[in-house]
Structure 1
Amino acid sequence: MKAIILAAGEGSRMRPLTYTRPKVMLPIANKPILEHLLIEVREAGIREFVFVVGYRDERVRGYFGGGDQWGVSIIYSNQRRQLGTADALRSVKNLVDGNFLVINGDVIVDQKDISQLSRRNSNTVGIVEVENTRELGVIEVSGDRVVHIYEKVKKPTSHMANTGLYLFTLNIFDAISRTSKSPRGEYEITDSLQLMIDKGHPVSYQEISHWLDLSYPWNLLLANESLLTGIEAQNLGEVEGNVVMKGEVFIGKGTVVRSGSYIVGPVIIGQNCDIGPNCCIRPYTSIGDDCHIGSAVEVKNSIVMNGSKIPHHNYVGDSVIGEECNLGAGTKLANVRLDKSNIRVANIDTKRRKLGAIIGDRVEIGINASINVGSAIGNNTIIGPGAVVSGVILPNSKLF
C-alpha cells in the first residue's frame, strides 16, 4: 500500500513562519511536521510514499530526498498551482494500483490509527469529535456511514471534524473527474466524496484517537508540548560542571552547556549549540541546531529554530522564533496581558492566556527592545534599539 501525503500548500494562516517554507516543514520538537507524520506512517507498516509538493518544494525535496534515511521510498508529484485536494490526487492517478492512504501533510496523528485505517476495504474518512468545527471540515454520520461532508462552514451542523486522513479505493478517481470547483475556487476531495455519497456509493468513517490541529502558529506550541512529553534524556554533547538538569533533557552532538545553566525538561536542544553560562531553560522548549542561548537568558515553552541567537539578558516565553534570528541584549518578549485576558493575533482569539511573539526568519532586533504579546513579525525585519513592537509586522520592515 502507498501513502499519498499532501504537502503542496503554503499554509497562509501560519504566516509569518510560512513566508520562507511550506507549512509541513515547520519544526516541532526539532523535526518538521512532515517527518513526524512519515515516521508514524512507517511504523504502521507502510514503506512507499508519494509526496505531492508545490509551494517551496525544494525545502521538502532537499530534506527528505528519496527517503533512504528513514528506510522508505519517496517519489514526488508536483502540484504547481494549488487548486485543491482533489486536483492534487488527480496528479497521482498513475502512481497507485490499489487501495491507498491519503493524509494531509500538516497533521499530527498516531501509528495505531493509521494502521487501523489501512486495513479497511472501502472509502473511509478519519473523523474526530471537537468542540468547535467552525474552521474545519464537518462530517455528518448515520450508523456506520458518512451522509454529508462540508468544507469549512460558518454554522457547523456537527461536532465531528474531518481529520485529513483517508483510505481510498481506485473508484475515487471517477468521482474526482466529475468534481467541479468549489466556491473557494478549488477542487475539493470532500466534494468528490459527496458526489459518491449522492450516487449511493458507501463512504465509511473511522474515529481517530489522537489528532492535533495545526492551523495557526500558536498551535505549534501545544503540539510541541505533546511531542516533548515522550522524549528520553540523552546527552550527546558536553555539559560543564555546575549545570543543573532536571527531568528529560536531550542534548545534541557538538552542543556545549556551560556552567551555571539550569534546565528543566522536557527540553530538546539540537546540535552544535552554545548554551549558557548562567541561563534558564524551562519545560517544553525546543532549541534547534546552531543556536546560542546566552548569559542571563530565560526561555520557556518556546520553539527556537536553527541558527537563532538569544545571547544576553533576554526573556522568551510561549513564542515561536524562526531561523537565523538575533535578539539584542536586554530585549524581552512579553507573554501575558496585564488584564489576563486571552491574547489575540491579527484580531484572532488564540484561546491562550499566555502567548509571546511569532517571529519569522532572519529578524534582527536591537538592544532593549520590547516585543508585546501576540506580535507577529515578518521575515527579514529589522527592529531598532529600544523599540516597542505590537501587532502584525510585514516582512522586510524596518522599525526604529
Structure 2
Amino acid sequence: MSSEFPSPEKALIVGVAKSSKLRWAEAERLEELAGLVSACGAEVFETILQIKERPDPAFYIGKGKAEEIAQIVKEYGLDLVVFDAPLSGSQTRNLERVIGAKVLDRTEVIMDIFALHARTPEAKAQVELAQLEYQASKLKGLWAHLDRPGGGIGTRGPGEKQLETDRRKMAEEIARLRKRLQEIERSKVVQRARRKEEFKVTLVGYTNAGKSSVMNALTSAGQPADDVPFTTLDPLTRRLSFPGIPVSVLLTDTVGFIEDLPPDLVASFKATLDVIREADLLLHIQDASHPSREHRAEVVSAMLAEIGCDAIPVIQVFNKRDLLLTPEACQRLLDENPGAVLVSARTGEGMEELSSAVVEAFRGFMVKFEALLRGEDMGKLYHRIVAVSIIQAEEYLNEGILVRGYIPARHAGLVRGKEVD
C-alpha cells in the first residue's frame, strides 16, 4: 500500500572554502544551510566541503568534483544537490547535466522558505518578485545571445523563440508585481502616518533567535514561535501600555535576518524593512546559547547599517537564558555588554527587566517639548518635526503653529530655540 504523502527529497549539501584556515567557518555555514534545507522539507543525506582557492567558472567546484558527486547521487538515489553559494545560470545548467539531479543554491533555498511561510498577499507578492528577479539574473547569461545584432548563425530556431517568449513573460510578471507592491506601500504610508502618536519599538534579530517568542511574552500576540527559520515574514504590530511611558507603545515583530540574505529579497521587502527604519527603538534579540552569537549579531548590525538604521537606539536582548549552563555565564554576558537584558521567553525570566529597559530607553532617548513654529519656513520645519516625533497636540495660532510631544534626543535640534516658556 502506497503512502498518501510523497517521501521527502534526499539532499546533498556542498560548500567550498578558499583555504584550510577557513574550513571551520564554512563548515558552520554548511550546518546552517542543512537546517535551511530541512526547513524546506528535504532530508539531508550528507555535507561535502571542498578546499578550492577559486570557484570554477563552468562548474563552481570543477568538473572532476561534479563527477564524484554524480556517483554519490546515483549510488544513494539522491534527488537534490544544494550549493552554499550563488550559482550562475550556466553553472547550474552544467552541474545538472553532469550530476543528473536538481541543483539549487543557498539563495534559492532561502527564497523557498520565504515562499513557504508567506501568508498575506503582500508577503506572497514580495517573495514571488524576489524569486522572479533572481531567476532573471541567472538566465541573463543564457539570454545574452538573443541580443546579438544582425542575426546569423546561432540566432535562429524554435529554442531561441521560446527563450524570447520566456523572457518577455518574466519581464511582464515582474512589472505587474512591482506595481502591486507600490500600491500596497502607498496604503501602508497612510497607515503609518496615523501612528505618529505612539512610541514605536521594533524587534530585530537573526532568524531563530526567538523574536516571536519574546513578542509573545510581552503581549498576547500569538505569533508562530516554532524552531523554524523565517516563520515571521509579515510585520505584526500590537499596541501596549507601559507604566512610565505617557504614550502608547507599538511593538512590532519583523522578519529575521540571515547571513547572505539575498539582495533581491531585501529589495522586495522594502515595505517590511520600512517598519524597522521608522522605529524609535530597536530590540536586538539574540540567542544567548548559540556558539556563533557574536558573529550573528554582527550580521544583523551590518544589515541594519545597510538599510540605514544604524542611528536608531538599540537594546541588546539575550534570549534563551535558560539554556546557558551557569549563573557565571549569564553574568559574564551582561558584564561584557553593558545595558543588555538577559531573558528567557520560554520561562518568563527577565521580562520585567526588559519592560523596565524599554521605559528607561524612552526616558533617555525621547525629549518632551512644546514649541512655537514661526516664519516662512515653519511649514517645512513642521513636517520635519512631525516625521520623527510623537505628536500629542498641535494648534494653529495667528503667530504660528504650536506643537507638543516627544522628540528623539538626536533630533532635538529641530525644536531648540523655539520652546514655549
Q: TM-score, normalised by structure 2?
A: 0.27
Bigger fraction of residues in helix: 2
Bigger radius of gyration, 1 or 2?
Answer: 2
